[in-house]
Each structure stands twice: as C-alpha cells, then as structure tokens.
Structure 1
Amino acid sequence: MTSTDLHVSTAGHVATIEIRRPPLNFFDLDLIRRIADELDRIDADDNCRAVVLCADGKAFCAGANFNTSAQEATKDSKRRNSGELYVEAVRIFRNKKPIVAAVHGAAIGGGFGLAMSADFRVTCPEARFAANFTRLGFHPGFGLTVTLPEVVGQTNAALMFYTSRRVTGEDAFKMGLASVLVSQDQVRAAALKLASEIAENAPLALVSTRATMRAGLADRVKAATDHELDEQSWLRETADFKEGVKATAERRVPNFAGR
C-alpha cells in the first residue's frame, strides 16, 4: 500500500509503516486513522508477525498540526475533532501484533504519544522526546498520562510533563524509554532487526503473550484520553494556550499570564 504520506511494505514476516510528511511529519485525524486501518489489516494477515513504525524526514513525528483552520472552528467542533482523533488512537493500542518504533529524530507531543503506542523504541543520540504540552498551555494527550508512567515511572513522567523538557536519545535509553540506542543512520536497520527477531517466534504464542503483557492497556488509554480531552477542551480556550502556540511558532519563550 502506498500513498503520498503513508507507505506500507512487507519483508519476510515484518511489516513496515512509514510516515511520509517530511520534514516534521505532523499528524492529523486522517493519518492516525490510516495507521490504525493498516494495523487492522496487518492483524488479519497471518504472514505478518511484527511491525516497524518509522518516518521519513528530520523528525519521527513533531505532533499534531495546529496550523489548520482551527481559528474558525467552534469550541464544539474542536472537541469533536479531538475526540475522533483519540478514538483512532485507541484503535492503534488495540492492535494484536508487536510494534517497534524507529525514532530517528524528534518525537514531540502527540508524536511522542504515537511512539509510546509501540512496544519498543529504537533511537539514537540525536533523537529528542518531549511531552511539551505545558509549554503550549495544554494538557498531555494521546494517552501519555498512562503510557509514559508505565514505562519510565511516575516521577520521570511527571518531570517530563511539568518541565516540557526535551529528553535526548541517550537519556531516553538510560531511563528505559528506549530499548535500543544506535547511531542515527542505523535506527531503521536496528528496528527491523529487533522486529525480525520477534517475528522468528511462534506467531500464536507471540500474540497470546503480548495480549497478556498489554492486558487492559487500550482500555486504560481510552479512559485516559476521555479525561485528557476534557482537560484539553477548556485549556484550548485559554489565553495561555494561544500564547503557547504562538510562542512556539515564533521560537521564543512564552509569556504566560495564568488565564
């Protein structure tokens, strides 16, 4: 399957889903839905036993695209669009087969949330992981309030949320956020190697074991995104959110007023 911004291929028992929206690979509802659709298709394909999620360009995924006609959208339509996005995000967490994310560059905001939907992350020193929501005057989303603490612990997750700091690939590896650290030009190959190692195992046992290891995760993400959406909906209407988005676009320190 090939489109202008999503490419899916299979080699052996490993499927590769590549985001092609360079350089920063911002996502929208359509892209997340199509990734979920492809994972459903892979689940139904007995030949595919593992998945590599990767991206072309400078970043893995720099988050959601705020540069839309959102200025004209109503509060209700913004909430509805975000709600639909999270419905598709939860579908990703319900897939049955192991996913290895090849994070060769920045994974920011919702893009970080997408990377956390994978079972494992392969990265490099140049990569950056950031839950930069509070820097935008926003609340974390994409289920990160569940997935991040479960992987790095409550304190490390809170530190990333409260500071909005960018964590390097090396620090991500040290805290267990990434499973493999290699040079930037080897990230894709290392992810494929790990996925191939996984795919060598008995497929029924693999799916069964993964279901046990991730039992209830999609439901926890669903509950989390419901709450995240409530918080994001009122924060989206604040002056601080508008300032955070504007300051980020202008590459300057935001001047928040608490309103």
Structure 2
Amino acid sequence: MPDTSDQAILTHRDGHVAVIELNRPPHHFFDLAMIAQIADELDRLQADKACRVVLLQAGGSAFCAGADFSKRSGAETPRSATSINPIYQEALRIFSFGKPIVAAIEGPAVGGGLGLALTADFRVACEEARFSANFNRLGFHPGFALSYTLPALVGKQKAAWMLYTGARVNGRQALDMGLVDFIVPQAEVRARAMALAREMAASSPRALQSTRQTLQADALSHIRNAISRESAEQAVHFASADIAEGVKAMAQRRLPVFAD
C-alpha cells in the first residue's frame, strides 16, 4: 500500500491494523474520487486476511469538512430523483465493509464528513473536535445515510436537533450524546484509536467479523433505503435556489435568508 502525495488517501499497515488517512489538508473536503478511493482500499482490505481492523484518520487537526460546495458551478448535470447520488453509491461500499473500523477524530467532522465518521464502529475524539450535520442550513436534505445512522446512534430526538439546526457539537457533548466513544487529549487521539484497533485485532478474526455481522443485523438494508430517499430529496433541493443562498451564507459566515 504505497504512500504517494498525489492520492486523496494515504495508507499503511501496523501489524493487523490497516490505516487509511485522508490526504487533502487542511479541511479534507471530499469528492467522488476520494470516497471511491476509500471504498477501493476497503475492498482490497476485505480480501486481505492479514488485515483484521481498519483505522480511519486524517492528516492535521481536521477530520473531514464534507463536500467542497465552494466549487459548485451552478451548472452541474441535473440528476434524476430516481437515481442514487454517485458519492453515496461509493459510500454504500464503505458501509458494506465486513471488518471493524475505528475513526480517529482530531477536529471538525462536518456534513458528509460526519457521515463518513459514522461509517466507523467506534470513534475516538478530543474536546477540540466539532460535529455538525449542517445540510438544512445549506439548503438541502441530509445525506451520506445520516438520516439513519445518526438517530440510530444518538436517538431520534438528538438527531433531529442536530439535523434541523445544523448545531455544532463539541467533543465533550458528543461523548455525552453517544456520538463518540472515547475522549482523550488531542495529541493522544491517534494513539488511543490505534490501541483500540489493536485490542480488537487480538481477537479471532473469524469470530470478530461474524460477531460484527450479527450486531449489524439489517443495518445495511436501512442504510440503502436511507440513501435512496436522501438522493431523491437532494436531487430536488439541488435544483432550488436555497442551496445557492445556503452556500453563500456559509462563505460569508452569516445566517442564510431563505424564501418562503
């Protein structure tokens, strides 16, 4: 697994733990290519018997700020309401991975970046981490399966609050909500995440994967249904004026003013 600076991700191995690192500093905005690279790497690791656990992290102090909407041209190819967002097609491949994933979160995980963080089985974070599902503030329906994964993790009421308001949740609040599993000082996040990954990697790989499959149960079918609906709603919202106002307001660091 070579480390080359022109890749959207960097990868290396630490014993039975494979490390995938997002490589678009400082914010690690993603696009279809990055999510596809993660999915491709996970496909390879699924077939690699020496890999038992994956650690997902990002270079620098940010985890992932989601998609880069500053590059929207306003002339994107319209997408049918019955088609799946291509990024979420790739996300489904990530959700389909059969081995445990630990996410090391040292900073913001926003929008689709939060969705990516929730593909992991466990999240290790710090008080400086920030979590936000800011889709509605940007003028469109949540995506990356967050309409299922977020309420499944923190409960419907807290998920609704985060989704409706785009509230920014710090690391301590995230721990209290159940959004993350461990809080450590920022400088120790990666080490603690690796320690957790190694703890799991010491278990029987066959038993580990089958236990995870039992615990996941029918989650993947719910995720597929969520992504299908999210894609349909977003196809409509992306054609509206709301997203232009939402993105402009974000860039100007002000509250958006949406039409009735």
**Which range, TM-score by smaller chain?**
over 0.9
For residues 47 and 74 of structure 1, the distance between their equivalents in structure 2, rounded to whole angstroms, comes to 42
Q: What residue identity is the alignment partner of 1:27? A: F
Q: CA deviation at 1:78?
A: 10
Report percent identity of matched pairs.
52
Residue 40 of structure 1: which of 29, 43, 49 is its match?
A: 43
Q: Deviation string for 1:49-74 (max 9, x for gaps)? A: 10100001231000012233542223
For residues 17 and 121 of structure 2, the distance between their equivalents in structure 1, rounded to whole angstroms, comes to 15
Alpha-carbon spacing, 1:146–1:69, altered in 2? closer, same or farther (3 Å): closer
Residue 53 of structure 2: which of 50, 56, 67 is its match?
A: 50
Q: Confirm or deny: 8 A CA contact 2:143 2:227 kept in the other structure.
A: yes
Q: Confirm or deny: 8 A CA contact 2:81 2:231 kept in the other structure.
A: no
Q: What residue identity is the alignment partner of 1:62? A: A
The question of 1:11 aligning with 2:14 is answered yes
The question of 1:29 aligning with 2:32 is answered yes
- The more displaced of 120-129 and 216-225 is 216-225
Q: Deviation string for 1:177-207 (max 9, x for gaps)? A: 1011001111111100100001010000000
Q: Confirm or deny: 8 A CA contact 2:65 2:112 kept in the other structure.
A: yes
Report the counterpart of residue 203 of structure 1 in structure 2: 205
For residues 186 and 173 of structure 2, the distance between their equivalents in structure 1, rounded to whole angstroms, comes to 15
The alignment of Structure 1 onto Structure 2 pairs a total of residues equal to: 257
* Structure 2 length-normalised TM: 0.95
Q: CA deviation at 1:217?
A: 1.7
Report the counterpart of residue 123 of structure 1 in structure 2: 125
The question of 1:218 aligning with 2:246 is answered no
For residues 68 and 240 of structure 1, the distance between their equivalents in structure 2, rounded to whole angstroms, comes to 16
For residues 99 and 179 of structure 1, the distance between their equivalents in structure 2, rounded to whole angstroms, comes to 13
Report the counterpart of residue 237 of structure 1 in structure 2: 239
SS, match of residue 73 in structure 1: coil
The question of 1:132 aligning with 2:138 is answered no
- The more displaced of 97-106 and 210-219 is 210-219
The question of 1:193 aligning with 2:208 is answered no
For residues 170 and 194 of structure 1, the distance between their equivalents in structure 2, rounded to whole angstroms, comes to 19
For residues 36 and 180 of structure 2, the distance between their equivalents in structure 1, rounded to whole angstroms, comes to 25
Q: CA deviation at 1:246?
A: 0.8
SS, match of residue 21 in structure 1: coil
